[in-house]
Copies of this chain bind each other. A is one copy, B any other.
Amino acid sequence: MPIGGAEDKLGRMTVLREVVKLAGGPQARIVVLSTASSLGDEITHAYLRLFANLGVQDVQGLRPESRTQAADPAIVAAIERSTAVFMTGGNQTKLATLIVGTPVGDAIVRAHRRGAVVAGTSAGASICSLLMVSFGTGGTTPKFRIGQVSQGLGLVRGAIIDQHFTQRNRFGRLLALIAANPGQLGIGIDEDTAAVISPEGRLEVKGRGVVTIFDGADVTTTAYTATGSQPLMISGVKMHTLPRGAVFDLHTRTLVAAPGLSDPGAAPEIATVADVPEGTRPRTRRIAAEGRHETVAELRHRGQRRASS
């Protein structure tokens, strides 16, 4: 469950509540890994309190600060018994340098395999992918050397995850990385937004912003000839802008569902007079009212009334 950073900590806390829910609610056992952050105990304590306020009794803060510490059996054991690992924001290169390939890193990978929730915000989101965005610069235009990757935890193997996506305008760097790695999807996650990925590879969007997906499978590019700060030629990237509730299949690379969307794969129906139930009369007031712009709430309300009538 990668999160795009800056998840709401004071209001509805939609994203953090989702972590708790998936981790087992009040019975959750959450460990907070704050190695990426430079804020030390401050950030650990903040998340301990937040999860406690959300009803989780069993929550522990871990902060290995070296690869030696990241081999500590007590820390590994805490991860082993957890139902969720939450990785804070900060510096993902520090996080990767200190934990990828260590017993702590391996324990997180095993926790993920046995079905524990592995959530991470900002740096903690980036490290979930195999090819991790380690650093780069902002801007909408893809350019040579705008973004670099290094090895992450590999919980998500077919996609590169980027965060603070529209807020820090990271379109260009993710596009450039997809041009160089067209076998990977690009997943750009906004602040206060999460991409909840199921074991089957279905991504569901939660929170306030959008998840932007770039699919470079059919890309034509000359990115490999670029130098300096030249913009890159990248043709044929397929793009998906997904707000909350949208579900995307990372294997088939297609939209599965979204609020207000009928089954995209269903065959169209052609109605004839024979299909009209006996005794049907046009409800002229309802039909006349259709001209208004209808809000999602109204459509939903109307759907419920219809279902219950």
A169, CB-defined interface residue at 8 Å = yes
Is B255's CB under 8 angstroms from A230's CB? no
Let me know if A261 and B220 touch, CB within 8 A: yes
In contact, B190 and A141 (Cβ under 8 angstroms): yes
Q: Complex: how many Å from CA A240 to CA B141?
A: 11
A232 to B259, CA, bound (A): 11
* Residue from the list B166, B227, B235, B295 in contact with A140, Cβ < 8 A: B166
The contact sample of 13 A-B pairs, CB cut-off 8 A, is A175-B241, A214-B239, A227-B296, A232-B241, A233-B241, A233-B259, A234-B240, A235-B240, A235-B248, A236-B238, A236-B239, A236-B255, A238-B238
Q: Is A101 an interface residue (CB 8 A)?
A: no
**Nearest neighbor of A243 in chain B, beta-carbon distance:** B231
Q: Is the CB–CB distance between B227 and A234 below 8 Å?
A: no
CB distance from A147 to the nearest CB of B (A): 14
Q: Is the CB of A231 within 8 A of B209?
A: yes
Let me know if A36 is at the binding interface, CB within 8 A. Answer: no
> Is the CB of A149 closer than 8 A to any CB of chain B?
no
Contact of A255 among B209, B220, B294 (CB under 8 A): B220
| A interface residues, tally (CB under 8 Å) | 47
Q: CB < 8 Å: which of B140, B190, B239 contacts A169? A: B140
Interface string of A273-309 (1 = CB under 8 A from B): 0000000000000000000011111010000000000
Judge whether A242 and B237 touch: CB under 8 Å.
no
* Any B CB within 8 A of the CB of A198: no
- Say yes or no: is A54 at the interface (Cβ < 8 Å to chain B): no
Chain B residues near A297 (CB-CB < 8 A): 227
CA distance A222 to B264 in the complex (A): 11
Which residues in chain A, 97-145, are within 8 Å of chain B measured between CB atoms? Answer: 139-142
CB distance from A237 to the nearest CB of B (A): 5
Nearest to A293 among chain B residues (CB) is B227
Q: Assess the A239–B241 pair: CB atoms within 8 A.
A: no
Among the listed B232, B258, B294, which residue makes an inter-chain contact with A233, where contact means beta carbons less than 8 Å apart? B258
Q: Does the CB pair A225–B171 fall under 8 Å?
A: no
On whether the beta carbons of A258 and B222 are closer than 8 Å, the reply is: yes
A231 to chain B, nearest CB (A): 4
Q: A227-B296, A296-B227 given as contacts; is B235 within 8 A of A255 (CB)?
A: yes
A79 is an interface residue with CB less than 8 A from chain B: no
Which of A140, A212, A232, A299 has the largest count of B CB atoms less than 10 A from its CB?
A140
**Interfacial residues of chain A within 212-270, with CB under 8 A of chain B in the complex:** 212, 214, 220, 222, 225-227, 230-243, 246, 248, 254-255, 258-261, 264
How far does the alpha carbon of A226 sit from the alpha carbon of B297 in the complex, in Å?
10
Closest B residue to A167 by CB, please name it: B140
Q: How far is the CA of A231 from the CA of B175 in the complex (A)?
A: 21
- Pick from A190, A230, A235, A294 the residue with the most CB of B within 10 Å: A235
Pick from A214, A225, A233, A240 the residue with the most CB of B within 10 Å: A233
